[in-house]
């Protein structure tokens, strides 16, 4: 044993993984720093592991500006400052030690240089002048490219490698948190303030408006399977509910032309749902140890997920939609079927509302609308009153027309709820409702002195209070 050897015990190290490892396999010795007899490791051995971590995870930054930065400095438009942090700072962060111990490790790293390297006159890799920053990882990009190629060209429905790739990337989603401690998968319950979401339909005539309003659950909910077109989150035939967190974003996503009608449905969750917030992935916190062999995989996963929003919003040309949507469709199905606890949908920002609005895509199993409790055969009638000659849509009423007693009590008596459940089972295959529904009507106004171009005009909208429909609002104009 070298009498001049420095030792550090597990108690002097804050990195939990490394501290536990030293406690398990270290040798009993007197710690140079806390002066206790404890499980310890030679500081020279630890410094060699730190050196390997620098080689694997960090890059030394340039000590001088590049050509473009020089030009900016010359013209007085740029104040250059070297990027990164000093070696001592990184050692403290990597190992979880104070600056005194970090100084000793840095000295050992600097002493390992050969005389030729020290005599070259260049900046010493572990000298006080050297700065380092963490190296960017490819974030599973190679793994993702192989997954996409496999899905498009080799095996689409029974690919073991594709399932393994998705499991490696997404299985830990429910446990991931942002730097401020928020989970990226959040639960919304029927009592939460965030339990509302909106979905809208365009109409270009009074007849279209009447058709939609007379059957709101079917017309404003997710489409039935025979009308479900292929989308970014769903293959053809599988219905997904696309909506928004607020009314303005909902209407913006439709981009309605002047003179058109927008029927907005306000939905309310009646069951708890787990939603993955894509925007939170950008601020993921990576908890782990550089000394853990599995830490590289954690960093790769975080880097990939931080870029996931760009992947799912990447433009797909119309001619390439059949193949271009396959990767995100596969991810959506994996999230809805294979994650424990299961994920019911995705929250993502709106590109139509300045990225301030939030959209929601709810997977097929969570897209069911609560059926009406009105008697079977009840119809919705749209009634208009014309009180203002300048606005023929001054007031709109929805009336429930109940069936005659004999029709409701006939031999084929069924409740509307039973009928709706059967329809769901035959079409959308949704037997569990997740929403209740309220509606309102808007008309896109023409530019006048009173209203801005393409501004939304809210006419008075009234609705007969019933157990089926309620007014969303009754704004005055």
What string of pLDDT tens digits covers the 477 residues of the chain? 566 899 999 999 999 999 999 999 999 999 999 999 999 999 999 999 999 999 999 999 998 888 887 887 777 777 888 899 999 999 999 999 999 999 999 999 988 765 555 555 578 899 999 999 998 887 787 888 888 888 877 776 667 888 888 888 888 888 899 988 899 999 998 899 888 888 888 888 888 888 888 887 788 888 878 887 877 788 888 888 888 888 888 888 888 887 788 888 888 888 889 999 988 988 888 889 999 999 998 888 888 888 887 776 666 666 666 677 788 888 888 888 888 888 999 998 877 766 678 889 898 888 888 777 777 777 777 776 655 555 544 456 667 777 776 554 544 444 343 334 333 433 334 445 554 555 555 444 332 222 222 222 222 222 222 222 332 332 222
Of 436, 435, 453, nearest to 444 by C-alpha is 453
pLDDT of residue 24: 94
The answer, yes or no, to whether the previous bond of 332 is cis (omega within 30 of 0) is no
Tell me, yes or no, whether 77 and 12 share the same domain: yes
Q: How many domains does the chain divide into? A: 2
Give the domain extent around 36: 7-134
Domain membership of residue 161 (yes or no) is no
In angstroms, rounded to a whole number, what is the distance separating the alpha carbons of residues 335 and 167?
A: 10
The secondary structure of 383-428 as a DSSP string is EEE--BTTBTTSEEEEEEEPPPHHHHTSTT--BHHHHHHHHHHHTT
pLDDT of residue 355: 64
Sign of CA dihedral 18, 23, 27, 30: positive
Contact 350, 313 (CB under 8 A): no
Tokens of 296: 């590289």
Q: What angle do CA 102, 108, 112 make, to 5 degrees?
A: 145
Please count the CA atoms within 13 angstroms of the CA of 171 that sit on its side-chain side: 8
Domain membership of residue 170 (yes or no) is no
In angstroms, rounded to a whole number, what is the distance separating the alpha carbons of residues 433 and 224?
A: 14
Tell me, yes or no, whether 111 and 190 share the same domain: no
Tell me, yes or no, whether 263 and 116 share the same domain: no
Domain membership of residue 189 (yes or no) is yes
Tell me, yes or no, whether 408 and 340 share the same domain: yes
Tell me, yes or no, whether 207 and 82 share the same domain: no
In angstroms, rounded to a whole number, what is the distance separating the alpha carbons of residues 240 and 226?
A: 12
Give the phi and the psi of residue 174 in degrees, each rounded to 5.
-60, -20
Of 129, 79, 157, 196, nearest to 329 by C-alpha is 157
Contact 117, 123 (CB under 8 A): no
Looking at 134, 159, 194, the residue that finishes a domain is 134
Compute CA distances 367 → 221, 235, 265, 270, 434, whole Å: 8, 15, 14, 12, 6
pLDDT of residue 380: 77
Domain membership of residue 288 (yes or no) is no
Tell me, yes or no, whether 203 and 96 share the same domain: no
Tell me, yes or no, whether 209 and 115 share the same domain: no
């Amino acid at each position: 044993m070298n009498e001049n050897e420095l030792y550090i015990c597990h108690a002097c190290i804050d990195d939990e993984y490394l501290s536990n490892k030293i406690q398990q396999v270290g040798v009993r010795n007197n710690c140079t720093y806390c002066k206790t007899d404890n499980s310890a490791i030679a500081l020279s051995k630890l410094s060699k592991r730190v050196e390997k971590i620098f080689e694997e995870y960090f890059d030394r930054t340039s000590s001088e500006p590049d050509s473009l930065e020089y030009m900016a400095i010359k013209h007085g438009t740029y104040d250059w400052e070297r990027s990164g942090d000093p070696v001592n700072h990184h050692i403290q962060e990597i190992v979880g030690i104070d600056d005194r111990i970090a100084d000793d490790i840095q000295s050992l790293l600097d002493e390992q240089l050969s005389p030729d390297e020290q005599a070259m006159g260049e900046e010493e890799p572990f000298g006080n002048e050297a700065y380092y920053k963490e190296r960017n990882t490819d974030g599973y990009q190679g793994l993702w490219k192989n997954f996409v190629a496999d899905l498009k060209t080799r095996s689409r429905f029974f690919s073991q490698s594709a399932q393994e790739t998705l499991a490696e990337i997404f299985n830990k989603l429910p446990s991931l948190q942002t730097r401020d401690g928020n989970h990226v998968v959040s639960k919304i319950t029927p009592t939460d303030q965030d339990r509302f979401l909106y979905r809208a339909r365009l109409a270009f005539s009074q007849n279209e408006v009447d058709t939609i309003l007379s059957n709101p659950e079917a017309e404003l909910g997710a489409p039935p399977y025979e009308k479900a077109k292929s989308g970014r989150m769903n293959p053809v035939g599988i219905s997904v509910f696309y909506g928004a967190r607020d009314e303005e974003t909902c209407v913006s996503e439709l981009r309605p032309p002047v003179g058109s009608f927008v029927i907005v449905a306000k939905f309310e969750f009646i069951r708890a749902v787990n939603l993955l917030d894509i925007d939170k992935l950008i601020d993921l916190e990576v908890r782990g140890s550089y000394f853990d062999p599995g830490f590289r995989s954690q960093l790769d996963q975080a880097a990939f997920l931080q870029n996931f929003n760009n992947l799912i919003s990447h433009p797909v040309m119309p001619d390439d939609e059949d193949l271009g949507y396959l990767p995100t469709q596969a991810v959506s199905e994996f999230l809805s079927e294979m994650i424990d606890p299961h994920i019911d949908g995705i929250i993502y920002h709106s590109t139509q509302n300045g990225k301030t609005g939030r959209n929601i895509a709810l997977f097929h199993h969570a897209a069911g609308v609560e059926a009406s409790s009105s008697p079977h055969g009840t119809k919705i009638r749209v009634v208009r009153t014309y009180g203002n000659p300048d606005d023929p849509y001054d007031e709109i009423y929805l009336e429930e027309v109940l069936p005659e007693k004999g029709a409701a009590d006939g031999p084929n008596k069924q409740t509307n709820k039973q009928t709706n459940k059967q329809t769901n089972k035959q079409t959308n295959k949704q037997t569990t409702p997740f929403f209740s529904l309220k509606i309102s009507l808007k008309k896109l106004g023409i530019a006048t002195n009173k209203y801005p171009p393409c501004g939304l005009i809210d006419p008075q909208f009234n609705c007969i209070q019933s157990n089926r429909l309620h007014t969303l609002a009754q704004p005055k104009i």
